[in-house]
A and B are shown apart, each in its own frame.
Chain A
Amino acid sequence: MMRPVLNVLAHLGRAVLDALARMGRWFVFMLALFPALPASLLRPRLIVDQLYQVGVLSLQIILVAGTFVGMVLGLQGYSILATYGSAESLGVVVALSLVRELGPVLTALLFAGRAGSALTAELGLMKSTEQLAGMEMMAVDPLKRVVAPRFWAGVMAMPLLAALFSLVGVLGGFAIGVGLLGVDAGSYWSQIQSQVDFREDIVNGIIKSIVFGVVAVWIALYEGYDCLPTAEGVSRATTRTVVNTSLAVLGLDFIMTALMFNV
């Protein structure tokens, strides 16, 4: 009679305890990584290699996605603005939504899928083949040698990728709005320049993308570092990276938007 109830309770309790334990390990990982960060700056070679993996290889998807998002914004924005007879402000709609929101957020989501999952899988495989343990045996700190360069590369790559995303997005909107729908080219740019503020919009967008970069790499590295050293464990950790990063980015985005842009 009581058994099913107890079972449910036990499940719930285990889930909560697991989550708490994982948060605790995440925090410990964070504390351990902090002191390793400055030392790895002395070996830029490692960071450059990771920049290639994390940044250059993400370029393709970021540029293509950015162009298409900008083009869709151009089409949708035009059809709505044209009903109010203010199709000239198309540029502002495209530029503001890209610079403030879509640029950082979509870049972070794509980044989690493209680079974050790769980082987790790489670290997870290193762990399951005991390469990390091997390094420790040779008195090489894997946090300094393996994790920290990847952290720096991710944090550096995110703002650059987000800026590229926004820029090709604005150009994509320009191509659709001006090239296809006949918005005046001059007013497209001049409206953007008069309405988009450097401090309010561009700098806040960059801050957002840096924060998202930190969050995305941090989760990816932690999941890889913490995964069960089995094939299944690695695959689960990779999934968790994408899911958790997406949730964290979307939640943080709401909080940061509420704080930054006093609506």
Chain B
Amino acid sequence: MQENNMRDIWVGLFVALGIAALTLLSLNVSNLLSLPSGQGYVVMAEFDNIGGLKVRAPIKLSGVVVGRVENISIDPHSFRAVVGMNIESKYTIFPKDSSAAIYTSGLLGEQYIGISPGAEDTVLQSGDRIALTQSAIVLETLISQFLFNKAAEGDKK
């Protein structure tokens, strides 16, 4: 009986350890906790070009993640990309004239939306649209502009 008891304890310990490992993996290693709790508010922003922005990309203010991209669609009239940004409700702090820009973290990193706060007193509410936006930098456009400028300089000489 004594030996059996020891065995039960070991099995209990094993199962507890395993379940603890599963929970730790789910909570600490994956993004389960950093998901917005679903109680955020959605703000829209129109961009000319979103580059490689993906759904669930982070939205940052001063580098702090305040929300996630919820959906990306096309406005059929203006042909521009409309990005729905789900911002956590505890961050109802953005002035109405805030601007949004698409940045890349690092040279090869993922793209995210950075918000720069404006100066107005009224804050963005659910369903509002951010008017001032700056598109993602597309490397090819940048290079072709650079080459074009170089060529123009060459003509002048």
Partner-B contacts on A (CB < 8 A): 48-49, 51-52, 55-56, 59, 84-86, 95, 99, 156-157, 159-161, 163-164, 166-167, 170, 189, 192-198, 201-202, 206
Contact = CB atoms under 8 A, between A and B. Distances in A.
B11 A48 contact: yes
Nearest to B56: A197
A189 B21 CA distance: 16
A163 B31 contact: no
B11 A51 contact: yes
B30 A197 contact: yes
A160 B58 contact: no
24 contacts: A48-B7, A51-B11, A51-B14, A55-B14, A56-B13, A84-B108, A85-B107, A99-B25, A156-B15, A157-B14, A160-B18, A160-B19, A160-B21, A163-B22, A164-B21, A166-B25, A167-B21, A167-B25, A170-B29, A193-B34, A194-B34, A196-B29, A196-B31, A198-B30
B17 interface: yes
Given A51-B11, A160-B14, A194 B58 contact: yes
Given A167-B24, A194-B34, A51 B15 contact: yes
A125 to B, nearest CB: 21
A193 B28 contact: yes
B11 A56 contact: yes
B155 interface: no
A159 B107 CA distance: 37
Contacts, number: 85
A198 B18 contact: no
B91 interface: no
B91 to A, nearest CB: 18
B26 interface: yes
B106 interface: yes
Contacts of B24: 167
Given A51-B14, A160-B17, A161-B18, A202 B108 contact: no
Contacts of B13: 56
B60 to A, nearest CB: 11
Overall SS of chain A's interface:
helix
B33 interface: yes
A198 B31 contact: yes
Contact of A193 (B19, B30, B106, B108): B30
A163 B21 CA distance: 6
A164 B28 contact: no
Given A86-B106, A202-B30, A59 B14 contact: yes
B147 interface: no
Contacts of B22: 159-160, 163, 206
Contacts of A160: 14-15, 17-19, 21-22
B79 interface: no
A118 to B, nearest CB: 16
